[in-house]
Amino acid sequence: MRDSPWNRTLDRRSFVVGLGCLGTGLRGPRVLLERGARTSEGAQRSLVVLQLSGGNDGLSTVVPYADDAYHAARPTLRLGVEDGLRLDDYRAFHSALERLHQRFQEGKLAVVEGVGYPHPNRSHFKSMEIWHTADPRGRAAGDGWIGRTCAAAFGADVEPHRLVHVGPNAPYSVHSSEHPAATFSVPEAYRWLQEGQELARIEAGEREAGAGSSLAFLRERMRDVRDSSASIRAAVARYRTPVEYPRGAFGESLRIAAALLAGEVGTRVVSLELGGFDTHNDQRNRHEACLRTLDEGLGAFLDDLERSEAGRAALVLVFSEFGRRVDENGSRGTDHGCAGPAFLAGASVLGGVYGEHPSLVDLGEGDLVHTTDFRSVYATAIEATFPVEHSTVLGARFPLLACAAALKRR
């Protein structure tokens, strides 16, 4: 894999990013204040990955308000600085991102610019697979990147709720043949009723069903369910917080995530999803509603995390599986494109803007050309959370966002 042209392009590009980070005097060079398996408080580190599904429009999230090319490309969708919350002389947050802006000003939120990958594939599904596997082959490459991270960090030590997705459908990123994710939306319903509980008595195992068969797969899931349901429900039922989460499924999923981390039931990665970002039309209203939901929910969640040791040991990564075109389409919306901002938040994060904003003039087939390889973001998240060398997961080395000092220390 290391020698594929895909990788070489990436390596070179990423290298340039690393230099750029040092050279342009952007806030840096460290995105992370500390790392290691445990925090200085002694809590186990954990990772929360939130996917903005449908392809978030980065230009309406971190708005390059000072760029004329932006206003030219977005005659109806453009946002002025008066609509936004200023980050610096070039960029501003969308006005819906009040709470995140507050965090940014407090130096607790890192914005990573221009995250993407080369030779972008505009198929919604293929692109999602690439994001989820961190591999140009998509699913053909095997497990998702989070699944592989767990395999690298925990090996054969399998715990059924170490990896949790809260929501109806787990993204492929958490797909793991060794560390399957516990997946549920409503923990109250996460249990067997009546005779289902007796399944423990039907211990199949005198002879294993053929490896790779659907029966073997089902038997493995059955074991996971038996082991994980009670402690997950207990952690959520016990959880009490003064933080008010917004109503709705997204707020609820964040509250559950906080409960699992605070409950210290062994959950080390929580995957979450917020949908609705596929704004091919009427983008202004739809996107604003999405960002408002994001801001209210994530703001509450980050407040909540600060209350506990376990919460302070969590790193939150927010990304979208692809971006949108620079030019708006004829329906006051935008079509699928590439590259956008990602966010990192948590007590271990040193806030600021990292990486360069992609050029709005020098485009690739009408799309932003990424400036930060998405695997640099993954690499940073991996090394910030687990004592794992990121190349064992990603197949090659990528510059960490903490361009130098802190991460080299280990």
Least Å distance between CB 249 and another protein? Answer: 6
Q: Where are the alpha helices (DSSP H) in 306-390?
A: 309-312, 374-385
- Binders of another protein among residues 60 to 99 (CB under 8 A) are none
Residue 123 contacts another protein per CB under 8 A: yes
Q: Could you tell me if 65 and 73 are in contact, meaning their C-beta atoms sit under 8 angstroms apart?
A: no
Restricting to residues 131-170, name those near another protein by CB under 8 A.
Answer: 160, 165, 168-170
Contact code string over 15-54 relative to another protein, x by CB under 8 A: ----------------------------------------
Which of 12, 66, 365, 392 is the binder for another protein (CB under 8 A)?
A: 365
* Backbone phi and psi for residue 320, each to the nearest 5 degrees, phi listed first: -125, 145
> In the bound complex, what is the minimum distance in angstroms from residue 256's beta carbon to another protein?
10
Distance separating alpha carbons of residues 127 and 89, to the nearest angstrom: 32
Q: Does 199 bind another protein (CB under 8 A)?
A: yes
Question: Which one among 4, 9, 44, 185 touches another protein, defined by CB under 8 A?
Answer: 185
Q: How far is the CB of 238 from another protein (least distance, A)?
A: 6
Residues 181, 174: contact at Cβ < 8 Å? yes
Distance CA 401, CA 67 (A): 25
Q: Which two tokens stand for residue 291?
A: 């960002």
Q: Is 202 in the site for another protein (CB under 8 A)?
A: yes
Helix, strand, coil percentages, rounded to 5, for the chain: 40, 15, 45
Q: Please say whether the beta carbons of 116 and 340 come within 8 A.
A: yes
Candidates 117, 145, 245, 343; binder of another protein (CB under 8 A) is 245
In the list 140, 156, 193, 211, the residue contacting another protein (rule: CB under 8 A) is 193
Residues 246-285 that bind another protein (CB under 8 A): 247-249, 252, 255, 280-281
Q: Which stretch binds another protein (CB under 8 A): 228-236, 310-318, 376-384, 395-403?
A: 228-236
In whole angstroms, the minimum distance from the beta carbon of 135 to another protein comes to 16
State both tokens at 213.
């068969």
Q: According to the binding rule CB under 8 A, does residue 237 interact with another protein?
A: yes
Residue 122 contacts another protein per CB under 8 A:
yes
Among 194, 408, 409, 410, binds another protein (CB under 8 A): 194
Residue 229 as a binder of another protein (CB under 8 A): the answer is yes
| Range in contact with another protein (rule: CB under 8 A) among 28-36, 39-47, 119-127, 391-399 | 119-127
Contacting residues for 272 by C-beta, under 8 A, at least 6 apart: 48, 49, 50, 51, 165, 166, 167, 250, 253, 254, 257
- For 375, phi then psi, to 5°, come to -75, -15
CB environment 185-223: b (16+ within 10 A), e (fewer): eebeebeeeeeeeeeeeeeeeeeeeeeeeeeeeeebeeb
Q: Which is nearer to another protein, 293 or 372 (CB)?
A: 293
Instruction: Give the pairing type, strands 109-116 and 92-93.
Output: unpaired
- Contacts to another protein from residues 290-349, by CB under 8 A: 329-331, 333, 335-336
Query: Is residue 241 a contact point for another protein (CB under 8 A)?
Result: yes
Long-range contacts of 18-22 (CB under 8 A, 24+ apart): 18/399, 18/403, 20/355, 20/356, 20/371, 21/354, 21/355, 21/403, 22/403, 22/404
Q: 213: which residues sit within 8 A by CB, 6+ positions away?
A: none
Binding range to another protein, per CB under 8 A, among 150-158, 199-207, 337-345, 380-388: 199-207
Among 3, 89, 198, 362, binds another protein (CB under 8 A): 198
Cβ at position 115, least distance to another protein in Å: 22
By CB under 8 A, tell whether 228 contacts another protein.
yes
What the block records as the tokens of 150 is 């767990």
CA dihedral of residues 85, 88, 90, 95 (deg, nearest 10): -10
The stretch near another protein (CB under 8 A) out of 20-28, 111-119, 143-151, 210-218 is 210-218
Task: Supply angle C-alpha 195, 198, 202, rounded to 5.
Answer: 130
Query: Total binding residues for another protein by CB under 8 A?
Result: 76
